[in-house]
Structures are given as C-alpha cells and as structure tokens.
Homo-oligomer: A and B are copies of this chain.
C-alpha cells in the first residue's frame, strides 16, 4: 500500500504537490493572496500592458510589524533595554539617569513615556561611541543569548513565514526586495541577510553618521549620533530616493508611518503598482493591537486610504495559515 501510494505519487505528483508547487503555501486562498498573485502575473507577463521590465522591479518592505513583530516593544528597543542592563554595572554614573533607572526597574511604561528624548538617550548609551564592528558583535551576541518573552524563540527566527515566502516569491519573479524601516540600519543589517535573504545594501533604516579614523593597525569607523536621520513617515520616501535612487513598484507596510512610502510608490508614473498593509488581528498567534480595541492608533488612516487606493489589507488571523515558521518558532 505504501509503495503503491508512493508510486502513484511519483506518477501523478499528487502528494503534497499543491503545497510544494505553491510558493505562497502559508497564505490562505483569500483576496490578499489573489491580489498579490494577480499583480505579479500582470507585472511579469511581457504581453500585458502592465508589464514591468526586470530592471525596474524594486519593491520595499517595512520591517517592524511587517516582516517581524514589533510588540510589546520593537526588538531593537528590547535590545537597547537588555544592553543597558548588561552594561549598567560598568557605568555607576548611569544610576542617576531616570530612563536608565526605569530600564533597570523593568518599568517599561516610564521608558515608553519618555518619548523621543528617552529613546535617543537609550540609543546614545547602546548604539554610539563604539566601533561598527563592536556594535555588530553586540547585536549578534544579543540575538544568540536572548529569547522573545512570550514565544520563547530566537528573535532572528521570528519573521512572519507568509511574508518570508512572499519575499522569496517576489525574488523568484525578478523583483529586488528592499527593507525601508524606522529600525536602525546597522541593527537590521546584522540579521537581515540570514532572516530575509536581503543583503546589507538593500536594508534602509534610521541612521546616524559614523566617524572615520586611522588606527595603529588599520582603520576604524566609530558610531556617533551625528546627522541622525529617523527613517519614518515622510522620511521614508526621502530615504528611498537617497539609497535606492528610483521609485519602487510595490510597497508593503503595516502602519500609518508607512503611508508616505506607500503613496510615493503608488504615484509611480510609469507602472501599475501594488500596495499591501499587514493588519494585526491575531491576538492568539501574534498580537491584535492596531485599530482594534485596545487601539494603539498605529493603523488608522491607512485602513481608509487602502480602500481608496485599492491596496490589499492582510488580515493576519484569516489570511495566514501560519504566523511564524513552525520549524523555527512554535
């Protein structure tokens, strides 16, 4: 029986074929998936007026909340918090600092309430005044030694499996996939190649300028806070123009902070573009925090704009068969 079945499978390719042949197998067959496939077919078919030449197939993805979770803190903020805790014993002078005290007391409400000023201070303590190599090593060490509190998984194994498939699917169809995120450019580049198959130069994010100097045995780039650029909202199209130098043909986001990038993409004068917003509706498998109660206010304008513009809205709960790759994070 077993042999007969195997034989039949070899002849007719039935066992698992529907899955193996479907590059978006972790997506349910809903309107989101259909919209993606339809657009890709239109963009890659030479005989259609919607054809996009391969050299113009640049697509941009937000990262936090679009490719991996951003709750309860963004992973980068969690890294900063963990780094402050790790480094504090060497820095007794930090103790008088209210933001550091809040971090050490696990009082994240106070950290978040400290707003941009508090965030910049955390970045100064953990993301500057070290060489770029040392920073990369610290991020690697952190990724190796920490697990997400709720799911118990390595942070670099928590990409959304359907989005990971989508990245592969787009690349197989000749698209160049880029990240355009509010996250720090140096932080993301440590994990992006392994997690998403995206090389460092295709990762755009918030940045500040390093400082070059000659050393006794070579050269050194030291991270500073100079020229800080916050790659969010209206800054995203600015960064796309600066780094990529052309207008994308598709944009994927999850919050109102992605709308400028999505509108910039949608108004590409040359091609029929695509837009998609990930809607966090799945409290059980991930989080349900955006415009559902309790509303974070992260995705409000986007939901109405998506209707007007014809962008796909991914309902995580209904559109995705899996959230995380069960082989990596159960």
Contact = CB atoms under 8 A, between A and B. Distances in A.
A238 interface: yes
Given A201-B245, A210-B238, A219-B267, 15 more contacts: A55-B199, A185-B245, A186-B245, A203-B245, A209-B238, A211-B238, A212-B234, A212-B238, A212-B260, A212-B264, A213-B234, A219-B237, A219-B263, A227-B227, A227-B229
A263 to B, nearest CB: 5
Contacts of A55: 199
Contacts of A221: 237-238, 241, 264
A89 interface: no
A189 interface: yes
A219 B132 contact: no
Interface in A222-279: 227, 229, 234-235, 237-238, 241-246, 260, 263-264, 267, 269
| Of A207, A210, A235, A237, most B-chain CB atoms within 10 Å | A237
A156 to B, nearest CB: 17
Interface string A192-203: 000000011111
Contacts of A263: 214, 218-219
Do most interface residues of chain A lie in helix, strand or loop, or is the interface mixed?
mixed
Contacts of A185: 242, 245
A95 B199 CA distance: 50
A267 B217 CA distance: 8
Contacts of A202: 201
A227 B185 CA distance: 18
A307 to B, nearest CB: 17
A264 B11 CA distance: 58
B260 A237 contact: no
Contacts of A238: 209-212, 221
6 contacts: A55-B199, A132-B241, A200-B245, A201-B201, A212-B234, A213-B234
Task: List 8 tightest A-B contacts by C-beta distance, closest first.
Answer: A200-B245, A218-B267, A212-B234, A212-B237, A219-B267, A219-B264, A189-B245, A201-B244
A201 B243 contact: yes
A13 B229 CA distance: 58
Contacts of A234: 212-213
A98 B185 CA distance: 42
| Of A185, A210, A213, A241, most B-chain CB atoms within 10 Å | A241
Nearest to A268: B218
Contacts of A214: 263
A53 to B, nearest CB: 13
Contacts of A241: 132, 210, 221
| Of A199, A201, A203, most B-chain CB atoms within 10 Å | A201
A40 to B, nearest CB: 22
Contacts of A237: 212, 219, 221
Contacts of A199: 55, 245
Interface in A131-150: 132
